[in-house]
């Protein structure tokens, strides 16, 4: 299989069809065919987490997934997280706590944090660190990232108590 293949899937809630070469990875299709450059390529080998996206609700490395295997799936990328102008609580917290510096790891970090919080994760430092263990950051030293996620966890818990 070397000619282009058709890939029909849902990306951030919208149905999309792209024609990609068979050896394309999900990461390539997102960035190059759909222009969703928020998803980053750090290593291309599963060693950094910068390419993290949700496939059918599960956090995975898009550099390790052949685009062919995205057919029929529902993908969520960093671009799909905000609701219009309203940022996700994790995005808000990264801004408030200074969780991003150069920004290369940030989309993957934020999605890993969202995955953790959707699973019911709390503000405990040790559990946050475990949840972010698949994402490398070369700038921040992690302290402010962990703090950002803890803030978001607290904000979400507050929101749940009041609603």
Ligand X SMILES: Cc1cc2nc3c(=O)[nH]c(=O)nc-3n(C[C@H](O)[C@H](O)[C@H](O)COP(=O)(O)OP(=O)(O)OC[C@H]3O[C@@H](n4cnc5c(N)ncnc54)[C@H](O)[C@@H]3O)c2cc1C
Contacts with other proteins, residue ranges (CB under 8 A): 1-2, 21-25, 28, 44-47, 49, 52, 58-61, 63-66, 68-69, 112, 115, 130-131, 133-135
Restricted to residues 47-76, the positions that interact with ligand X (CB under 6 A) are: 47
For the record, the structure tokens of 7 come out as 């890939």
Region near ligand X per CB under 6 A, out of 6-14, 41-49, 72-80, 148-156: 41-49
At residue 22, φ and ψ (nearest 5 deg) are: -60, -30
Contact between 29 and 41 under an 8 Å Cβ cutoff? The reply is no
Closest approach, Cβ 108 to ligand X, in A, equals 14
Restricted to residues 24-63, the positions that interact with ligand FES (CB under 6 A) are: 41-44, 46-51, 61, 63
Query: Exposed (0-12), middle (13-18) or buried (19+): which is 144, by Cβ within 10 Å?
Result: middle
């Amino acid at each position: 299989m070397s000619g282009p293949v058709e890939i029909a899937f849902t990306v951030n809630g919208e149905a999309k069809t792209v024609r990609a070469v068979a050896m394309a990875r999900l990461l390539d299709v997102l960035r190059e065919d759909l222009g969703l450059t928020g998803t980053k390529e750090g290593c291309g080998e599963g060693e950094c987490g910068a390419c993290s996206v949700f496939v059918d609700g599960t956090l995975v490395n898009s550099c390790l997934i052949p685009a062919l295997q995205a057919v029929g799936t529902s993908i969520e990328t960093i671009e799909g997280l905000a609701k219009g102008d309203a940022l996700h609580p994790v995005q808000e917290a990264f801004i408030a706590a200074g969780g991003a510096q150069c920004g290369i790891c940030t989309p993957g970090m934020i999605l890993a944090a969202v995955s953790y919080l959707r699973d019911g994760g709390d503000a405990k430092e040790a559990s946050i660190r475990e949840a972010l263990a698949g994402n490398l950051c070369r700038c921040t030293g992690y302290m402010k990232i962990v703090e950002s996620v803890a803030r978001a966890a607290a904000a979400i818990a507050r929101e749940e108590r009041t609603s």
